[in-house]
């Protein structure tokens, strides 16, 4: 029996033999974090399990259309037979959700920078999303995926691949998406709600960042401050997906966005064209992610963090250019 099969057998035994299960996604949750959280949580509930689904930062408004989103809580309570983290490359990405508990029993993720921090670790870096991993393994373990769970998992795949168009897309991911679609999921709704629609407040928030748009030597970056968020009445602590706009700029190698979380903490997101690995930059700042998309929360004042990040990113880019002659 190969290693993957052995790990899958351990996961199956853990989930089937546990009645009270805690599932936690990462801070500043994206579509894959929420999609995998709901996808696994709703599937386990359908199997008769008592499940607490936890996201320290709650569910962003863009994903509240998903069935089960109202069940997600910001902090767990009680005792559990099994604790699971999803889409988290390291234990810090869970936030304070597990502060009163031991290390998780199970870690399912697809990030190259995953630290294999749980008792059982299933990390598939070839998967385009953690939701894809779940879409494959849940039926293999004998769990029945419901239509709401399928919608959540498909949302995770769609959002993490920007609508099946990132460079890491695979035929396997498309097959998984097709299998989920066959549950009767409304794919057009997922596209519209997650990739097309933006609130008036989000666009106002973008305006502040775009007003500070800068470019230098293949890099483009923008900054969103605490005051910007307040002025725009934007409710989240993320960038309202402005990074996707920046990464669409032609003739740019790497896009970066700086989002002030407090006067001494900054969330940084990188996006890169093929050939650049920004996950290693993020890892150096205590974060992680993928070669083409990564992030980190960095301690320090906004101007100081920006200077450090731009310097490190430019060095990576320059090194690539030197290697390519």
Cα–Cα distance, 123 to 153 (Å, whole number): 17
Pair 125, 190 in one domain: yes
CATH code assigned at 251 = 3.10.310.30
Number of separate domains in the chain: 2
pLDDT digit string, tens, across residues 32-75: 999 999 999 999 999 999 999 999 999 999 999 999 999 999 99
Averaged pLDDT of the chain: 94
Pair 68, 186 in one domain: yes
Q: Considering 177, 195, 213, which residue would you say is the last residue of a domain?
A: 195
CATH code assigned at 63 = 3.90.1640.10
Task: Name the least confident of 193-202, 218-227, 284-293.
Answer: 284-293
| Torsion-angle region of 162 (φ positive above 0: left; ψ -120 to 50: alpha; else: beta) | left
Residue 2: what pLDDT?
58
Q: Considering 153, 172, 195, which residue would you say is the last residue of a domain?
A: 195
Place of tokens 């969103």: 224
* Residues 6 or more apart in contact with residue 254 via CB below 8 angstroms: 218, 219, 220, 270, 271, 272, 273, 276, 278, 313, 317
Give pTM, 2 decimals: 0.89
Pair 191, 228 in one domain: no
Pair 28, 83 in one domain: yes
Pair 160, 16 in one domain: yes
Pair 171, 242 in one domain: no
Cα–Cα distance, 224 to 310 (Å, whole number): 16
Pair 215, 269 in one domain: yes
In what order do the strands lie in the sheet containing 106-109?
Answer: 50-54, 20-24, 82-86, 106-109, 120-123
Residue 325: what pLDDT?
38
Domain residues for 309?
200-323
């Amino acid at each position: 029996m190969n290693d993957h099969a052995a790990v899958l057998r351990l996961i199956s035994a853990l989930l089937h033999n546990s009645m009270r299960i805690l599932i936690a996604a990462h801070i500043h949750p994206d579509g894959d974090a929420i999609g995998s959280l709901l996808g696994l949580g709703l599937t386990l509930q359908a199997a008769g399990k008592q499940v607490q689904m936890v996201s320290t930062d709650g569910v962003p408004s863009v994903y509240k259309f998903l069935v089960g989103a109202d069940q997600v809580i910001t902090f767990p309570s009680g005792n559990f037979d099994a604790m699971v983290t999803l889409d988290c490359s390291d234990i810090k990405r869970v936030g304070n959700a597990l502060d009163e508990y031991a290390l998780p029993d199970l870690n399912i993720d697809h990030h190259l920078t995953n630290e294999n921090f749980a008792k059982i670790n299933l990390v598939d870096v070839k998967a385009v999303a953690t939701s894809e991993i779940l879409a494959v393994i849940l039926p293999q373990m004998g769990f029945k995926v419901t239509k709401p769970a399928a919608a959540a998992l498909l949302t995770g795949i769609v959002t993490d691949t920007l609508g099946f168009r990132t460079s890491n897309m695979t035929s396997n991911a498309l097959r998984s998406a097709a299998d989920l679609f066959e549950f009767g999921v409304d794919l057009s709704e997922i596209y519209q709600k997650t990739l097309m629609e933006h609130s008036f407040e989000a666009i106002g928030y973008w305006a502040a960042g775009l007003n500070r748009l800068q470019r230098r030597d293949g890099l483009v970056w923008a900054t969103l401050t605490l005051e910007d968020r307040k002025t725009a009445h934007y409710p989240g602590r993320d960038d309202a997906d402005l990074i996707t706009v920046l990464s669409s700029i032609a003739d740019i190698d790497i896009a970066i966005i700086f989002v002030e979380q407090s006067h001494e903490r900054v969330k940084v997101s990188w996006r890169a064209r093929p050939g650049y690995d920004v996950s290693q930059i993020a890892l150096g700042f205590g974060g992680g992610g993928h070669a083409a998309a990564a992030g980190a929360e960095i301690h320090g004042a906004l101007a100081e963090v920006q200077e450090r990040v731009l310097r490190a990113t430019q060095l990576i880019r320059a090194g690539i250019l030197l290697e390519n002659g």
